[in-house]
Chain A
Amino acid sequence: MATVQATSRGSLKAKRATPRIAPDRLVDITVQAGVIVVLCLAWEFGARVGAINPFLLPSLSDVLARIWADAMSGTVFVDLGLTLYRTLAGFLIAAALGIPIGVLMARSATVRWFFDPLISVGFPMPKIAFLPIFILWFDIYDTSKIIMVTFSCFFPIVAATYAGTTGQDKWPIWSARALGAREHEILWEVRLPLALPQILTGLQVALPVGMITTIVTEMLMGGRGVGGSMIMAGRFADSVGVFAGIVEIVFLGFAVVRSLEMLRARLLVWHPEARK
């Protein structure tokens, strides 16, 4: 017994050491941060030395100063909050619809017959083309924006869920049956956990799409929100304001995408991908 354990203990070492950041990971982070710093410096000094017309490309420090001022007055938080709210609301509704429909498509031929053609047509279609219709139907406020976001997030989520829940490995399912699970329990206890990596991939594809859709609808419809403020700034030839919007979007997008990556890492600790 002792020999059996001694020989196999090594395989768990990696797990026990997780709180520490591995040295090669540290190098990774440093290099990536370095690239960003270099780009920022190039922007700043490129604009400073006057190589570029400051109206076309204002210096980074001016842009940051504007964001700071707007943060003091609170408008940045209103814009970011609204944009984030619309993105997440639309995204979550799309997930709440897309995941069950994807599962049902894999489980029932009738549901598949109904949705398969709709999804084949809808997936490659430029969803933003529906905006005028949504504005007519739902007015120009939050509802139409959120529905637009839901509409564009829906397709990648259904497609990924469907792919993840069809043709699943039969072994865990047979195991569950052998141990006394009923069919409806198998859906929750086996099929969904098995499909989770692919469902999460679908969500990770959908979220940036939702973000883009929010910004574009805000730009087209005006009003508050990062996209709307950028269009306003553009109309007043305020290039610093436009770039401030871009920097805000970069940060918001990074934060949102990164949170989803962290959620994935938490949910998939069991997956071999967690130990690459």
Chain B
Amino acid sequence: MTTVAMAADARHEAADRARTGIHIDNVTHSYGARASGRGVVALNRICLDIADGEFHALLGPSGCGKSTLLYLIGGFLPIQEGAIVTTNGPVTQPGPDRAIVFQNFALFPWKTVKQNVLYGLRKQGLKGEDAEERARDYINLVHLSGFEDAYPSQLSGGMQQRAAIARTLAVDPKTLLMDEPFGALDAQTRRVMQEELRAIWGRSRKTVVFVTHDVQEAVFLADRISIMSSRPGRIEHVIDVSLPRDRGEDTLEDREFIHLSEQIWRLVREQAVAATRGR
């Protein structure tokens, strides 16, 4: 049966836990000069433990700090307060063990789709035909074959997004950080990509942190879901998704899936309403 564990305040027993997975310990982040009072507190005392091999989804109203949290895990922003520790130790800088798909794709505009994918492979020391073949595989995976030699400016938003996904997946990272990676896709392509991602995750035991606005997407993909409050972002609820590991078309009709989706939808709505009321 569904077990919904709601922790109004996620506790951090991270300190004396085995250091595998991702441990976010009391992280606060603000933009701009906080001392002058003009800064924006984006994240407020975030505590979250993500287990090794877990598929974790982050839900929350726009502007609550989901991207910021992902950038901190990725090592792109300096950690101001608290700590983030992964299997490889404390996060201080980006590393290829934590690959990211950015919300705005961030492709290299002067490289073709294939060159974009090859860039990360070359950085891993993969050369020649091996690299080419791997690039081809991942371009096929996101259904972009035929567009290998197109530049990002020649592609639609959804195609750019898929190219970015291919580039990130191709380096086969231990941890995948994905910031609304299917946001620009139509419903049908989105469904195909969700199943593809779920399959890759099932095969390779990656740890995935997946930001989305789409409740059904979160429930379909994730093992656990965090719901964040509006700014300054806090983790309000952490929910276990106890659906079977094998998920497909019929999962969507599963009673538990529907029940869970509704329940989470209500919790997300509460936060969104609070956000529009300006708290």
- A contacts, CB < 8 Å to B: 1, 3-5, 8-9, 11-12, 15, 171-172, 174-181, 189-190, 193-194, 196, 269-272, 275
18 extra interface residue pairs, beta carbon distance < 8 Å, beyond A5-B145, A171-B106: A8-B156, A9-B146, A11-B155, A12-B147, A15-B150, A175-B167, A178-B98, A178-B99, A179-B99, A179-B171, A181-B123, A190-B108, A194-B110, A270-B110, A270-B112, A270-B152, A270-B153, A271-B153
Whether A4 pairs with B123 at a CB distance below 8 angstroms is no
Whether A176 pairs with B76 at a CB distance below 8 angstroms is no
| Chain B window 167-201, contacts with chain A (Cβ cutoff 8 Å), 1 for yes, 0 for no | 11001000000000000000011001000000000
Whether A193 pairs with B110 at a CB distance below 8 angstroms is yes
CB contacts (< 8 Å) of A4 on chain B: these are 143, 189
CB contacts (< 8 Å) of B156 on chain A: these are 8, 11
Whether A5 pairs with B108 at a CB distance below 8 angstroms is no
Contacting residue for B150 out of A3, A12, A178, A181, CB 8 A: A12
The main secondary structure of chain B at its interface with chain A is loop
Give B98's nearest chain A residue, CB to CB.
A178
How many A-B residue pairs have C-beta atoms within 8 angstroms? Tell me.
85
Give B105's nearest chain A residue, CB to CB.
A171
Whether A11 pairs with B74 at a CB distance below 8 angstroms is no
Whether A272 pairs with B153 at a CB distance below 8 angstroms is yes
The distance in angstroms between the C-alpha atoms of A168 and B189, with both chains bound, is 33
Given A190-B108, A270-B110 in contact, is the A15-B171 Cβ separation under 8 Å?
no
The distance in angstroms between the C-alpha atoms of A180 and B123, with both chains bound, is 6
Contacting residue for B108 out of A3, A12, A172, A269, CB 8 A: A172
Whether A1 pairs with B143 at a CB distance below 8 angstroms is yes
CB contacts (< 8 Å) of A181 on chain B: these are 123
The distance in angstroms between the C-alpha atoms of A196 and B143, with both chains bound, is 31
CB contacts (< 8 Å) of A171 on chain B: these are 102, 104, 106
Given A1-B143, A171-B104, A172-B106 in contact, is the A179-B167 Cβ separation under 8 Å?
yes
CB contacts (< 8 Å) of A196 on chain B: these are 110
Whether A270 pairs with B151 at a CB distance below 8 angstroms is yes
| Chain B window 53-96, contacts with chain A (Cβ cutoff 8 Å), 1 for yes, 0 for no | 00000000000000000000010100000000000000001111
6 A-B contacts (beta carbon < 8 Å): A8-B155, A172-B107, A177-B94, A178-B76, A179-B123, A275-B153
The distance in angstroms between the C-alpha atoms of A181 and B121, with both chains bound, is 11
Given A171-B102, A174-B94 in contact, is the A180-B153 Cβ separation under 8 Å?
no
Give B104's nearest chain A residue, CB to CB.
A171
Contacting residue for B107 out of A5, A8, A175, A177, CB 8 A: A175
194-242 of chain B: CB within 8 A of chain A: none
**B51 within 8 Å of A (CB atoms):** no
A196 to chain B, nearest CB (A): 7
CB contacts (< 8 Å) of B120 on chain A: these are 179-180
The distance in angstroms between the C-alpha atoms of A9 and B123, with both chains bound, is 31
- What are the 8 tightest A-B residue pairs by CB atom distance, in nearest-first order? A171-B106, A179-B120, A180-B123, A180-B96, A270-B151, A177-B94, A175-B106, A270-B110
CB contacts (< 8 Å) of B189 on chain A: these are 4
CB contacts (< 8 Å) of A193 on chain B: these are 108, 110
